[in-house]
Structure 1
Amino acid sequence: MQEYGYFLTNGYEDVMLHKKEAKNKYEENDEVEVFLYHDHQGRLSATETMPTVTLDSFSILKVVEVKRSLGVFVDIGIQKDMLLSKDDLPYDWALWPAIGDELYCGLKLDKKQRLFADLSKFEEIQELSIVAPAESKNTEVEGLVFRFLEDGVSILTSEGYLAYLHKDEMKEQVRLGQRLTMRITFVREDGRVNVSTRPLVKEARIEDSDRLLTYMKERDNQMPFTDKSDPEAIKKEFNISKAAFKRAMGKLLKEKQVEQKDGMTFIKS
Structure 2
Amino acid sequence: MNKRKFRIGQTNRLTIDRIVSIGAYLDGGDTDILLPNRYLPADAAAGMEVEVFIYHDNEGRLIATTMQPYVEVGQIALLQAVSTTESGAYMEWGIHKDLFVPFREQMQLIREGGRYFIYAYIDHVSGKIVGSAKLSKHLGNVPPRYNPGDEVSALVYERIDPGYRTIVDHTHWGLIYADTLPMPLAIGATLKAYVVRLRDDGKVDLSLDRVGYGRIDTESDRLMHLLQKAGGRLPIGDKSSPEEIQEYTGMSKKTFKMAVGALYRQRLLCITPTTIALSDGKKGK
Shorter-chain TM-score category? 0.3 to 0.5
TM-score w.r.t. the length of structure 2 is: 0.43
Larger Rg: 1
Which has the larger strand fraction?
2
